[in-house]
Amino acid sequence: MNRREFLAVSAASLIATSAGKLNAEAVDKAAPWYQTMLRCGQINFNERDPLTMKPEEWMDYWASLRIDAVLLNGGGIMAFYPTQVPYHHRSEFLGSRDLFGEMTKAARAKKMRVVARMDCNYAYEEAFKAHPEWFQHNADGTPRRHNECPWLYKTCMFSTYFTEQMPAIYREINQHYMPDGFYTNGWPGTEALEVCHCENCQKIYREQTGGTPPETTDVHNPVYRRYYDIYMDRIATVWQLWQKTAQEHNADSVYVGNLGGGMRTVKDVKRLGEVAAWFNADNQGRTGNTPVWMCAQQGHVARSVMNGRTVTNVVGSYSNSSIDWRHTSKPPAEMTMWAAQAAASGMVPWLHRLGGQVQDNRWREPGRAFFDWLATNQSHFRNRASLAEIAVLYPQKTVAFYGSNGTATRKLNGETIDSAEYLEGMYAALLEGRFLFDFVHEDNLSAETLKKYKALLIPNAAFMSDAQCTAIREYTSSGGCILATFETSKYDEWGNSRPDLALKDLFGAGVSGERIGPLDNSYMNIDREHPILASFKDTTILPGAEFRVPLSPVPAEQRYLSVIPHYPAFPPEMVFPRTPHTEEAAAIFREQGSSRIVYFPGDTDRSFWKSGSPDLSRLIIDSIHWMLRDQPQPIIVEGDGLIQLFGWQTEPGFALHLLNYTNPNATRPFFSKTYPVGPLQVEFQAPAGSHIASAQALRAGHKLQIRTSGDRLHVELPKVADYEVIAFS
């Protein structure tokens, strides 16, 4: 196809549509279009799709979901339009079609925005032969290929492929289709850093890092530390270049990177959030022994760095699990719960389907039903502020670097530790306690950020800077309460060990030796009465943490729980304490001015996550209640079930979200059905000055009767199947 034919095809593929005609009900002229978006969809083309794909049929489906924007494959790894950019590989089956153009035309006819889905990670052999400098190489000089598709070569972020070839492709698509944005699949991600050995990277290593970075995450290595900053700077440079390129033909266009990863991040999400106008989490589902609330966790992480800007989460419609089946549908109950978590946690659900020829259509109706319901009630999903009064510190450096080898794990006295398990345990305890909470990224610790929260929970933030420790001290001096665990503040932000806990002045004790563990069959002795311990009846001992740091002496009158050291668990004849009592504190509960402080020198949060011990979760829950002086939460839900709560101030008033995780498959895929709970008694205290006239259960579709008791409102939910939203207007 020559250039004249290309222009003719492109012109025929598009219709002139002003921005004012695109989903006018969702457009707020004071904000970018993507800031007001509430529903998103994607169809991911495969190479054979140009043979059979029917654009109008696909856009009829997406229109039935009432989505605001649809993502369509433009190019990068493979072009689905008649590209003229050298070495930009066209689909073998494209022929005379312009599939991207046809799909764009069909989408705009349905008044949907179009985002071009790009892939910058691989290119074909013809590109490698012409430009080997574009591609990653192994230490032995061989190029890196895709493990399943070896005819594809892995591109290098530090090469001109990212600064010249990809912008050339963006400009071509912009010139002929002017999409509303660009999205890159798989880049930059939040996982571990890649280490390439191409000539360009070797030059960078020599001149800027002083050596070759280690292949695995090793924060104790000074070369790795320098490489980490160089790597993050390169991401920012490329991101800003692509954003500028996207806007060359359309000032309202946006570049969107792939930032999925849940809580387990290595790349600095705070720095990524600073360049991202729109944070997309390609967190499509769960595998292995993963809790269903992983999607809501993703929402907490993303919102901690985006300051109210757009966050989307991809909802995979296919069966992703420990065994992937890319073309069979995920059970509707699982897919709906994933979309519900995205919406409840303040993200925009993004429904994804792979391939234009669909043999298994079981995903279609659940997707349509949920998105149509979301559109019908969209004003209640325009969130203005969270109602949470509890903050959970997101300890980015600890999650990424807590240890000297591996990206997410470390060895503690021989045992492999997942560095996110402390946060997992705290999160699970908060679910059991039905608390509202937000995440605060460690680099956002400031008086301004923390002033709205009554308590800050710190799940083993072992790596903390001096400035972060100072911010926490200032928070407590203003009356804020804290709960911290294990090695919090034992290391600086790069993992250099301090001689003692930096926050020992707040905790009321420092460490007296090296960490101890892993040890089971150790205990905490109840030495004295305390409100936190009031619910433990008919026992004088509680289960001890698997790891702990030994504390310097604490006065007897301030010691409520003491350590009973490990003793043999087998054989039965040997199961008795060798040291039935010590003076080593297993917890510290103290008041400093108007602040209340709880410190567990053991990994109480992680030990709860590993064991499921209700004693450990109760200890965390009751500690939080004590810090809050037993004042009622903004939202209280009474009744059976494992339920996560989110509360938002919205355009019409307030929205209380209840996610029902009560299910035998809550911690492994998949939900195959729902297990309704109810009746539930819901109590809500609206902020001062609010005037509530009505309440409605949006999923059930009926009004709720409001009872008042002082300044608190009461409603009853007869039943919650998977998800309910109570809208107070």
Residues 561 and 479 in one domain: yes
- Please give the C-alpha separations between residue 698 and each of 175, 312, 725, in angstroms, as whole numbers: 43, 22, 5
pLDDT level of residue 410 (50, 70, 90 thresholds): low
3-state secondary structure of 143: strand
Round to whole Å and give the CA distance between 332 and 671: 8
Under a CB-based contact definition with an 8 Å cutoff, are residues 28 and 36 in contact?
A: yes
Q: Is the pLDDT of residue 20 over 80?
A: no
Average pLDDT over residues 673-695: 94
DSSP code, position 700:
T
Round to whole Å and give the CA distance between 678 and 657: 15
**What CATH number is associated with residue 665?**
2.60.40.1180
Q: Is residue 381 part of a domain?
A: no
Residues 291 and 327 in one domain: yes
Q: Which pLDDT value is given to residue 324? A: 83
Query: Chain-wide mean pLDDT for the chain?
Result: 93
Q: Which pLDDT value is given to residue 260? A: 84
Residues 562 and 603 in one domain: yes
Residues 367 and 509 in one domain: no
Q: What is the pLDDT of residues 411-447, one digit of tens each?
A: 677 777 899 999 999 999 999 999 999 999 999 999 9
Q: Which pLDDT value is given to residue 409? A: 58
Round to whole Å and give the CA distance between 654 and 219: 44
Average pLDDT over residues 187-215: 96
Residues 660 and 598 in one domain: no
Which of 602, 627, 652 is where one domain is finished?
A: 627
Average pLDDT over residues 37-60: 97
Q: Is residue 462 part of a domain?
A: yes
Q: Is residue 385 part of a domain?
A: no
Q: Which pLDDT value is given to residue 322? A: 80
Q: Which pLDDT value is given to residue 504? A: 98
Q: Is residue 29 part of a domain?
A: no
Round to whole Å and give the CA distance between 179 and 117: 10
Residues 91 and 116 in one domain: yes
Residues 648 and 618 in one domain: no
Q: Which pLDDT value is given to residue 19? A: 31
Residues 147 and 230 in one domain: yes
Backbone angles phi, psi at 407, to 5 degrees: -90, -30
**What CATH number is associated with residue 184?**
3.20.20.80
**698-702: which pairs have CB atoms within 8 A and are 24 or more residues apart?**
698/373, 698/377, 698/380, 698/724, 698/725, 698/726, 698/727, 699/373, 699/723, 699/724, 699/725, 700/724
Average pLDDT over residues 613-621: 98
3-state secondary structure of 723: strand
Residues 85 and 187 in one domain: yes
Q: Is the pLDDT of residue 255 over 50?
A: yes
Task: List Cβ neighbours of 349 (8 Å cut-off, separation of 6 or more).
Answer: 39, 40, 312, 313, 315, 339, 342, 343, 370, 371, 374
Q: Is residue 22 part of a domain?
A: no
Q: Is residue 299 part of a domain?
A: yes
**What CATH number is associated with residue 433?**
3.40.50.880
Q: Which pLDDT value is given to residue 417? A: 82
| DSSP state letters, 333-353 | HHHHHHHHHHHHTTPEEEEEE
Q: What is the pLDDT of residues 268-314, one digit of tens each?
A: 999 999 999 999 999 999 998 899 999 999 999 999 999 999 999 99
Which of 608, 627, 646 is where one domain is finished?
A: 627
Q: What is the pLDDT of residues 620-637, one digit of tens each?
A: 999 999 999 999 999 999
Which of 627, 650, 673 is where one domain is finished?
A: 627
Q: Which pLDDT value is given to residue 436? A: 98
Helix (H) or strand (E) holding 327: strand 325-329
Residues 372 and 395 in one domain: no
Beta strands 723-728; 654-660: pairing state: antiparallel
Q: Is residue 337 part of a domain?
A: yes
Number of domains in the chain: 3
Residues 639 and 623 in one domain: no
Q: Is the pLDDT of residue 552 over 60?
A: yes
3-state secondary structure of 40: strand
Domain boundaries, position 609:
390-627
Q: Is the pLDDT of residue 13 over 50?
A: no
Q: Is the pLDDT of residue 185 over 50?
A: yes
Q: Which pLDDT value is given to residue 403? A: 63
Q: Which pLDDT value is given to residue 11? A: 43
Q: Is residue 616 part of a domain?
A: yes
Q: What is the pTM of this model?
A: 0.94
Residues 641 and 515 in one domain: no
DSSP code, position 2:
-
